[in-house]
Structure formats: structure tokens, C-alpha cells
Structure 1
Amino acid sequence: MSPPPPPLGRPRKKATHSFDPALDDADLVAARTALAQGRWSEARTLLAGTGDDWDRRGHRIMVLAQEPTTTAWVRDWLLVEPESTDAAVLLACAGVHRALAGKVRPDKIRDGCLDAAALVPADPTPWLGLLLLERELGREEDVVRLFDEVRHRHPGHHHAHHLMVARLAERRAAAGQDPLHEVYDFAAWAAEQAPPSSPLAVLPVVAHAERYRVLAKAGTEPADPKASGHWAGRRARVVMKAAFDWWLEWGETPTGAARPRDRVDLNFLAHAKYCEGRPAEAAALFHRIGPHVTPEPWSYPDRDPYEAFRAARSAALGTA
């Protein structure tokens, strides 16, 4: 999901920004490092411990699958443990990333994902891999069908809903700022269907960000959102306020266990405040989001939110 930059307050140069999809999952980072060095036992332990936490399992497998050496080392893992379903799913998802990079034929990878899905019928992760592949390469009906397969196994799957929003946002790019666009309806429907504690409550915000990405690419909106009214409309303010209110209330589970906020991306809300010309409020939001702020939001990759935070803080302190 969202990469963690250095903690707020630490000086850094823009050239040092990096996109790390592992978030602040230290166990995942350690397993990824070990796997890149050929030590697959750490990945085996990590995935075994993840169990049927499908959101976290999908995130961890996709991060491990992105590494260029994963396919080779997981094949070694399967030679030692041919019955390992974790290895089979990880190998299939690694194939998805290779297919998206043009290194293997998509048809072969589709078959591999289906084989992995047959081994673990309850696991949505092989279907998530297929959804990721078809979101880029497939037909609309295939994307919808695969989303249904994921949702059948885990109705609130965070990553799958984000992929659907991204795909839907690309429909009818020439329509411009249509408040009735289907991406907004889908996001609102998903948020309403989700349990009160679900991170899908933020999906309407994601829909606005993804739609802006599409409109900016099509040339119907400026590359700089500050020059656009997309974020300043009443509907945009309502959905962003609702998302942030939900995040503030998302403290602990009834059992007292802290909820993993690393699955939530509220950058869109903070960036919107900045684009509305309210840098002090944006700075406060960046501070609350902390290590989950992305250095480059999807909507406008040339803007650095950390610089906005520093500028707002300097203005508040009366310093240059």
C-alpha cells in the first residue's frame, strides 16, 4: 500500500525518497531481505504466521512477489517442500509481476494462478494476483469476475477494492468531472457495505484521487491540483471529512488490540487540504498520519507532501 518515508522532522533530500511497499512491517522487510539472499525459510515462517488474515497475507505476498529474484528462490523452496501452498501462491504472484513487466506470457501466469487457487480454495490471494494482472491487461468483464472471486472469499479485501477503483476511474475519461461517474458510486457502495471498523471507509477519497489521476492524464484537468476545482467541491469535502473522522475514531478493537493503520492511506485527504490552500491543516494531517505518508501521491507525482509540511511548520513558527 503506502510507503513510509523517513520520520517527520528528519532532514532529507528529495533525491533520497524511496517507494517501499512493505510499509512499516518489520517482519516483512526482514523476510524480503532474506529471500533476496536465497534464504526462503524466513518467508515461510512469515506466511505461516500470517494465517488467514487475508488483507495482510495479500500485502505480504505481493511485496515479496515484486522482488526480481523471488521466482528463482521460491522454486528452490518448492523443490524442498513441494507440498507448500504458501510457496505455490507466492510463485504464482511473482509470475504476475513478471508478466506485467513483459518478461513472461500472461497466459502461462494465468494458468499458474488458477493452479494455486485450486490448492487453497479459501484463499483470495491467487485471485488477487489474477485481478492485478487483468486490471492492466484484461477485459472489463474479466476484471469484474475476478473481483467477485476475491470478494466471495473476503468481502472487505482492501487491495482488491483499490484495484477496482483504479480500473473504474479510467472509464469515460472524456466525461470530465462527472459527479455521477460510476467510480464514485462503487466507492460509496463499498464503504456502505463494509463493517464500521473497515478501512474501506476511506474508499470514496481514493476514488476522487484516482479519477483526478485519469483526468489529469487525459488533459481535462491541470497537472497541478491547486489549479483545479476537483478537490474543492462540496462532494469532495464531504467524503474527505467522513474518511478522516472515521480514521480518528478507529482506535482499538473491542478486545483492546490495536488496529493496523498501515493498511490505510489518508494521504489524499492531507494533499487535498494543501491543494485547497490550507497548508497548516495539511501539516497537522501529515503529522497525524506520520510514517504512513507517501512521498509522492498517485494524483500528482511531482509534488512532495513533506515539503508542504515543512513549509507550513516554518510559517507557523515564523521561520524561513
Structure 2
Amino acid sequence: MPPPPPPLGRGRRRAAQSFDEALDDAELVTARAALAQGRWQQTRSLLVHTGDDWDRRGHRITVLAAESYCAAWARDWLLAEPESADAAVLLALAQVRSALRGKEKPARAREACHRAAGLVPADPTPWLGLLLLECAQGADGDVVRLFEQVRTRHPDHHHAHHLMVAWLAERRVDAGRDPLHEVYDFAGWAAEQAPADSPLAVLPVIAHAERYRALAAAGHEPADPAASGHWADRRARQVMKAAFDWWLEWEHEDHPRRLIDLNFLAHAKVCEGRGAEAAALFHRIGEHATPAPWSYPDRDPLTAFRTARATVLGAS
């Protein structure tokens, strides 16, 4: 089987190095390849077996929905099984992804999401689709309302929390490096609300990374994070220490999700200039693709990890 094509929005000249949204989900990669050939039955089976693992279901559907052919085959699936909630949700997310690319009317995508939500009231995925759309195009009140709809159905929904952090980080960029910015408050609140074994405990680190991304894009910070001092202030040090301590506790538990978000954590330590700690972290966890069921098409934590690891270990 040939490797999957690079996700939309990334240059095909870099296909060999491109970031695959499917991460290490082999079942998802197989179903996506079958769907590209019109064999939607494998996608049907994949979603049936995913069940109510909402994080994984949301990831799998959004990855499938990113493909340009998805909407057509989802419609075929609905023709064969008009009562299929999975087909309706997949079609809704495909329309959302098309709307984000300017290939579909946002109003039609919203209607499809609401129809799908009516078929599966407990599923946060249609609301995740609406949140994806509104984070890019909607009003502030709509974004907050939709996040609450997702959170009502799955309080620890990782993708939704990451979307909110990225969206909040882009607000008030003219304020510069504001230690009281709302993105830090939100991330701290979410981490406190999450269960003890939740990867959302690392969300404050993600908030610092996302805020830096927004400031750098607006020209308020240099392109090189290590030269910015963004990771060197007192609050950043406290966040980093808490996240690293949290990971050390999890390591001894041998929890299957303990590696989640560690690429961000290790890379942040490099940016902060704490090379010795980062080197120890890299040596202990090794190189891995983040095994979590979520990501963004234009952010590749594994590439960041490899670059930072080479920098730190090469200098040690």
C-alpha cells in the first residue's frame, strides 16, 4: 500500500517529510485508503469499533473528513444506509473541512452538523465540527457556546480544549507578552478541572506555545523562541516545572497515555534554555510520534521533537 498523501495545505514537494494527521493510527490509515477507492464499508466498521471513545472518534472522523473525496463517498454511504448516524456525522465534518477550505458554504456545513447532532445527541463530534468552523469564522459568543456543548458531552475532550487554547492565544495580540492573558487562565482552569490522569494537565504548556506562535506570527516576537525570553519568565518556569513533575509521576504508573504532549514539553524546555533537563527527557522517552488521537494539520510535534532532540543531544 502506498503511503497516504500529504494533508491539505502542505506542500507536496515535501511529501516524504509531510505530517500525517492520522499519526500512528494504522486502522485509520487503512480505512482512509479504502475510502479513497469508494469502499466506505471499512470506515463504517472502524467507527463502529471506535464506539464512544469520543477523543478517538473525533480524531478519526476529522482526519477522514479532511480528504476531498470524503463528502461524495459519505453521501453514497447515506444512500445505502439512510439511518446511519456515523455516515451523517462523517458527511457533516467533511462539509466543515470543505467550508474551511472555501469549497463549501459555511451555512450548509452548520446545517449538516446540527442534523448529525440530532441523530446522536450524546456524541460531541458534530459539535466539534461546529467549533472548528466557528473558531475560524464565528463570533466570540458562538465559540464559547459550542465549546460548552462539546464539554457537556465529554468534559475532557482534548481536541476541543486545544482548539480553544489556539483560538484564545490569537486574541489581543497587540497586548504583547501579557502574563495575565486569558489563554493562561483558561488553560490553568482546564488543567485544574481535569481528572488526575488526564493529559489536559499539560494544557498550560500548550498555552505558552500557542501564545508564542500567535505573537511571532504578528511580528511581536522573534522567529526563534530561544532568543525571545518567552519561556524564561517566572510564570513560564512554574508551568514547566509543574508539567515535568506531572510527567514523572505518570512515568512510574506505566499509563498507556503517559507520552501524550511530551513532544511539546521537551521542545519547550529547549526554548527555555534548560538543555540538560531536555536532554534527560529526550533520552528517557526516545523518539516517538505522539500517540494521542488529536492534532492539527499545520503543526507537527514530531518534527519539532526531532529538531530539538538533535540540537540538544548534539551539543551534549
Q: TM-score, normalised by structure 1?
A: 0.85
Change (3 A) 1:300 1:17: closer
Task: Report the AA paired with residue 37 of structure 2.
Answer: Q
Partner of 2:140: 140
Partner of 1:24: 24
Which of residues 281, 285, 289 is equivalent to 1:285? 281
Partner of 1:43: 43
Partner of 1:274: 270
Task: Report the AA paired with residue 109 of structure 1.
Answer: A
Cα offset for 1:195? 0.4
Task: Report the AA paired with residue 78 of structure 2.
Answer: L
Q: Distance in 1 between matches of 2:287 and 2:309?
A: 11
Partner of 1:205: 205
Change (3 A) 1:249 1:27: farther
3-state SS of 1:292 partner: coil
Q: How many residues align?
A: 297
Determine if contact 2:267/2:304 at 8 Å carries over to the other structure.
no
Partner of 1:260: 257
Determine if contact 2:150/2:160 at 8 Å carries over to the other structure.
yes
Cα offset for 1:135? 0.3
Q: Distance in 2 between matches of 1:31 and 1:299?
A: 23
Deviations 1:120-160 (A, max 9, x none): 00000000000000000100000001001001111111110
Cα offset for 1:299? 8.4
Deviations 1:254-295 (A, max 9, x none): xx9x53357x2222221222223344533443451632269x
Q: Distance in 2 between matches of 1:281 and 1:215?
A: 26
Deviations 1:22-79 (A, max 9, x none): 1111111111111112111111111101111111111111111111111111111111
Q: Does 1:248 align with 2:248?
A: yes
Identity %: 68
Determine if contact 1:279/1:308 at 8 Å carries over to the other structure.
no
Task: Report the AA paired with residue 75 of structure 1.
Answer: R
Task: Report the AA paired with residue 188 of structure 1.
Answer: G
Task: Report the AA paired with residue 125 of structure 1.
Answer: T
Cα offset for 1:106? 0.2
Partner of 1:222: 222
Cα offset for 1:217? 1.4
Q: CA RMSD in A?
A: 2.5
Determine if contact 2:50/2:57 at 8 Å carries over to the other structure.
yes
Cα offset for 1:241? 2.4
Partner of 1:70: 70
3-state SS of 1:291 partner: coil
Partner of 2:34: 34
Deviations 1:188-244 (A, max 9, x none): 000000100111101100100111011111211111111111111121122122223
- Unpaired runs of 5+ residues, structure 2, are 1-13
3-state SS of 1:151 partner: helix
Change (3 A) 1:300 1:227: farther
Determine if contact 1:124/1:150 at 8 Å carries over to the other structure.
yes
3-state SS of 2:18 partner: coil
3-state SS of 1:221 partner: coil
Deviations 1:78-117 (A, max 9, x none): 1111111111101100110000000011011100100000
Q: Distance in 1 between matches of 2:258 and 2:18?
A: 20
Change (3 A) 1:147 1:307: closer
Partner of 2:231: 231
Q: Distance in 2 between matches of 1:244 and 1:33?
A: 38
Determine if contact 2:35/2:43 at 8 Å carries over to the other structure.
yes
Q: Distance in 2 between matches of 1:193 and 1:289?
A: 30
Task: Report the AA paired with residue 266 of structure 1.
Answer: L
